[in-house]
Amino acid sequence: MDYEKYNDQPEFKAALHEMFTSLDDSILNDPKYAAVIERIVEPDKIITFDVKWKDDQGNIRVNKGYRIRFNNVNGVYKGGLRFHPSVNLSILKLLGFEQIFKNYLTGLPMGGAKGGSDFDPKGKSDNEVKNFCYAFMKELYPYIGVNIDVPAGDIGVGGREIRYLYEAYKEYSGKSDCSLTGKPLDLGGSLCRTEATGYGVTYFARGALKTYKDTNFKGKKVIVSGSGNVALYCLKKVTEYGGTVIAMNDSNNTIYAPNGIDFETMRALKEDRRGRIKEYKDLVNDEVTVLDRKDIWSIKCDLAFPCATQFELDIEDAKKLIANGCIGVFEGANMPCTLDAANLFIKNKVIYSPGKASNAGGVAVSGLEIEQYLKNEKWPFEEVDLKLKHIMKTIFKNCYDTAKELGDEYNLIKGANNFAFKGIADKMLSL
Ligand code: NDP
């Protein structure tokens, strides 16, 4: 695989490097897969547009909008929208490429896509966010639909943004189908979608802890980075399983709470008030230290869940975690660990799960949201949660069994990539 031509897209190049250095020789040396490799690294279509929206002062502002349809061999294009100033083609290609394999791992019929904008919802009024979402959808709506391409949320696109986006979709298209997932319940969303990614990574970790170390969450000190959707519901499920989440962060600060972080206080701070994490200290009557964002990985813990953003945990952080006795690192975010950090975990027999496997719960429940729409059904929370548990258990088993078959039991990167690449490649060859 010639990565050099992607030198101007470092994030995408990192994703390709991770995939193609982990594939087994039986795939890499098989001539029938060579042509697939060439095809699979190029998106089917890249849609780019300008988003012109009005701020509260009446000025017209412009941001870039994107939708990358990567591959639909496994079903409709499916993947979230990210609104963050760092968004560019390289990051979206990284995420879209990963999404192809993640979606295959869920066992549901979904292809890979990603999209978003360099718009920053932080610090904007509700009215400005609404104006932006309507302007974004005005450009995107002709391209999406339940049988073609179904976006969802991601960083910066939560329940509020999905509501505006879906209302705009209905207004511009005149349709009311399941062309967006992660919708609020009153707009046809699925129960358990909000919780799905955070719960899913915890279910995955539970299976891995049992299989590799014959242990569970009880009494474990846990770090969960970030404090957005994934991090919050990871905090909730880990706590329910008997773990103590002692540290979380946002893009400014880390909080260290040795007696544990209270889910409801944190949820209300982040979801209801959109506050900053350092404010948590003033909301509880307990020992809390406010540190720098990066200090999070220096805190001694048994388990770590990077749930914030890509490349937030590098090799120096990995060394600290290993020296402090951490036994498992489970990615809730997309590619939060650099590849050398991940390889160091694997070498040291720290259980390490790549995001494409362990954070697939979100897109899995998005797939279930589409299924409910198509069947005209509404499933109770417990039913969706049970299906999610089953999906995460199956993902772990497929990754683990494949890694073991390849003689590298601790290498879940190899497990996930070989299982999913072969599945997708065989489908592409059968067309
Ligand atoms: P949110 O926007 O809800 O939250 C992101 C969180 O990460 C915020 O707390 C943000 O803090 C924090 N953050 C951003 N950059 C940094 C940084 N450099 N260091 C520390 N914290 C940081 O996003 P989600 O929770 O939805 O997504 C988190 C990750 O999970 C992303 O990688 C996403 O792609 C992935 N993911 C999400 C899924 C979902 O269902 N939501 C599904 C699968 C993957 P601040 O407020 O300061 O910006």
| Residue 322 pLDDT greater than 80, yes or no | yes
Q: Give, using CA atoms, the residue closest to atom 43 of ligand 1.
A: 359
Q: Outline which parts of the chain fall under CATH 3.40.50.10860.
A: 43-187
Average pLDDT score over the chain: 97
Q: What is the pLDDT of residue 64?
A: 98
C-alpha 115 to ligand 1 mean position (Å)? 15
Q: Give, using CA atoms, the residue closest to atom 37 of ligand 1.
A: 154
Q: What is the pLDDT of residue 325?
A: 98
| Residue 1 pLDDT greater than 90, yes or no | no
Q: Which residues contact 141 (CB under 8 A, 6 or more apart)?
A: 168, 169, 172, 173
Binning pLDDT at 50, 70 and 90, where does residue 3 land? confident
Distance of alpha carbon 322 from alpha carbon 307, whole angstroms: 19
Q: What is the pLDDT of residue 285?
A: 97
| Residue 266 pLDDT greater than 80, yes or no | yes
Distance of alpha carbon 354 from alpha carbon 329, whole angstroms: 9
Percentage, residues of the chain above pLDDT 90? 98
User: Active-site residue 427, yes or no?
Assistant: no
| Probe residue for ligand 1, chosen from 250, 254, 278 as the CB with the greatest number of ligand atoms within 8 Å | 250
Q: Are 51 and 119 in contact (CB under 8 A)?
A: yes
| Residue 24 pLDDT greater than 90, yes or no | yes
C-alpha 352 to ligand 1 mean position (Å)? 19
Kindly state if the Cβ of 227 falls inside 6 Å of ligand 1. Answer: yes
Encoded tokens for 302: 């048994």
Distance of alpha carbon 246 from alpha carbon 266, whole angstroms: 13
C-alpha 419 to ligand 1 mean position (Å)? 27
Q: What is the pLDDT of residue 2?
A: 79
Q: Which atom of ligand 1 is nearest to the CA of 193?
A: 40
Kindly state if the Cβ of 359 falls inside 6 Å of ligand 1. Answer: yes
| Residue 389 pLDDT greater than 90, yes or no | yes
Q: Which residues contact 53 (CB under 8 A, 6 or more apart)?
A: 60, 61, 63, 119, 128, 131, 132, 134, 135, 136
| Residue 235 pLDDT greater than 90, yes or no | yes
Name the active-site residue from 102, 114, 270, 422.
114
C-alpha 308 to ligand 1 mean position (Å)? 4
Q: Which atom of ligand 1 is nearest to the CA of 294?
A: 19
Pairing of strands 149-152, 45-54: unpaired
Q: What's the mean pLDDT in 370-381?
A: 98
Binning pLDDT at 50, 70 and 90, where does residue 431 land? confident
Q: What is the CATH number of domain 196-358?
A: 3.40.50.720
pLDDT in tens, 128-168: 999 999 999 999 999 999 999 999 999 999 999 999 999 99
Q: What is the CATH number of domain 43-187?
A: 3.40.50.10860
Q: What is the pLDDT of residue 329?
A: 99
Q: What is the pLDDT of residue 243?
A: 98
Q: What's the mean pLDDT in 234-243?
A: 98
Residues in the chain: 431
Q: Is the pTM value of this prediction over 0.85?
A: yes
At 6, which amino acid appears?
A: Y
C-alpha 309 to ligand 1 mean position (Å)? 5
Q: What's the mean pLDDT in 13-39?
A: 94
| Residue 4 pLDDT greater than 90, yes or no | no
Q: Which residues contact 223 (CB under 8 A, 6 or more apart)?
A: 245, 246, 247, 248, 296, 297, 299, 301, 303, 304, 305
pLDDT in tens, 196-230: 999 999 999 999 999 999 999 999 999 999 999 99
Q: Are 180 and 150 in contact (CB under 8 A)?
A: yes
Kindly state if the Cβ of 312 falls inside 6 Å of ligand 1. Answer: yes
Q: Outline which parts of the chain fall under CATH 3.40.50.720.
A: 196-358
Q: Give, using CA atoms, the residue closest to atom 2 of ligand 1.
A: 155
| Probe residue for ligand 1, chosen from 117, 201, 251 as the CB with the greatest number of ligand atoms within 8 Å | 251
Q: Give, using CA atoms, the residue closest to atom 34 of ligand 1.
A: 334
C-alpha 431 to ligand 1 mean position (Å)? 37
| Probe residue for ligand 1, chosen from 180, 230, 234 as the CB with the greatest number of ligand atoms within 8 Å | 230
List the one residue out of 298, 81, 52, 86 whose CA is nearest residue 183.
Answer: 81
pLDDT in tens, 273-309: 999 999 999 999 999 999 999 999 999 999 999 999 9
